[in-house]
Structures are given as structure tokens and as C-alpha cells.
Chain A
Amino acid sequence: DAEITQSPRHKITETGRQVTLACHQTWNHNNMFWYRQDLGHGLRLIHYSYGVQDTNKGEVSDGYSVSRSNTEDLPLTLESAASSQTSVYFCASSEGRGPSTDTQYFGPGTRLTVL
């Protein structure tokens, strides 16, 4: 079955370290998204991509970067981890057939702790 996976599921790192979270989907979806989920803030969009070599900033992109070199993967990199980036991170993908109707499918999440 097609799916979307994230790794690692849990990560503890130290302030200042570079961290990369992986996201892999096997649906051949054009669109991929990264969100963070924090108490009191719901889900906030970090970065998104509408296809290979396309990346865009979301509402909370500072300190994060992504690259899309193939359809299946959108890794999220924290250039220099900060305690404020302790959160649960979700990756999602959607087919990209048409705006306003596309359905997003979510991965299981990565819990990141920055000490």
C-alpha cells in the first residue's frame, strides 16, 4: 500500500546542532508539506513544495530549510537547532490535481526535543 513515512519518530538533540527530519511518500504526489504542532498553536505550516525543485516558505519558516530533489522525499533541515524548535513535526502530501479540493495525507510525526 502507498504510504507516507517519517524518520526518526523521536529525536533528542542539542542546541546549535544541525538536524534533518526525513519524509518519504510512495503515492507519487506532487505536493508535500511540513507542519509543526504545538500546544495552543495547532498546526503551523513550515515549508511546502509543489514539485521537484520547487520549495516555498510557510508561516513559520525561520530556522528551517527544505529541498526537493525527487518526487518521493522532502527532508526538513534545522540549520542550528534551538529550544524553541522543540515540537512534533508532521509531513503531509497531496496529489495536486486542483487547488481548493486536494486532500492532504499525513505521516505519523517526529517528536523533536532540543536541549
Chain B
Amino acid sequence: GDSVTQMEGPVTLSEEAFLTINCTYTATGYPSLFWYVQYPGEGLQLLLKATKADDKGSNKGFEATYRKETTSFHLEKGSVQVSDSAVYFCAHPTSGTYKYIFGTGTRLKVLA
């Protein structure tokens, strides 16, 4: 069945470090892929998305590329800031539906 696997957290980085959060998926067909961010005490916000293979989604310095060959959608940022401290969720719709499957989330802590 459909699934999303994210790397375990927490991830702790120093400010200006390079960030990678791994996400792999199993899906029927080629659904859109999403990254959401959840800041403390808030709901999930859409960070970026990609709608087809080889698409790159980007926002606020974050990027992720839809890799069909490796069924991956890894989130990257070249230089993290303290304000990026949050929980990041990878997600995709289940085949032919509007329902999402979410990864378990990866907590990122950035130290000044």
C-alpha cells in the first residue's frame, strides 16, 4: 500500500549549516508530493510541493526534487536559521483520492 517514510529526528544543527531531511514514498502512479512545516503551537503550513517527476519545489530557501527513480523527495536547505526550528512532514495523496498519507514528522532544532 501507499506509504511515506521520513528520517527519524530530532535533527540538531548549528545556524548556517546545510540541512537534508530524507523522505521516501510508496505510491501507485505519480501523485503530487508535499512538504509541510509545523512551528511550535501552530498548524501545518504548506512549505513546498512538486506535481510530477523531476519537478523541483522551492520556498523560503528550501528545495525538494521529485525523484521517480529513487521514489524520494528529500528536503534541503543550504543555510538554516534558528527560525527554521520546527517539525517537517512529508506527504502525498493516496492513489486516486484526496486523502493524504503523512510521514511521522522530523523535528529540526537550529542552534545559534
Contacts and interface: CB of A to CB of B under 8 A. Distances in A.
A100 B93 contact: yes
A90 B43 contact: yes
Interface string B53-96: 00000000000000000000000000000000000010001011
A58 B102 CA distance: 14
Interface residues of B, number: 25
Contacts of A100: 29-32, 93, 95-97
Contacts of A99: 93, 96-98
Interface in B17-44: 29-32, 34, 36, 42-44
B89 A43 contact: yes
Given A107-B43, A108-B42, A108-B43, A102 B93 contact: yes
A109 B38 CA distance: 11
In this complex, the interface size class of chain A, counting residues with CB under 8 Å from chain B, is: 20 to 34
A43 B102 contact: yes
Contacts of A25: none
Nearest to A56: B99
B43 A109 contact: yes
A59 B37 CA distance: 23
A45 B46 CA distance: 18
A80 interface: no
Given A42-B103, A42-B104, A101 B32 contact: yes
Interface of A: 31, 33, 40-43, 45, 48, 50, 58, 90, 92, 94, 96, 99-109
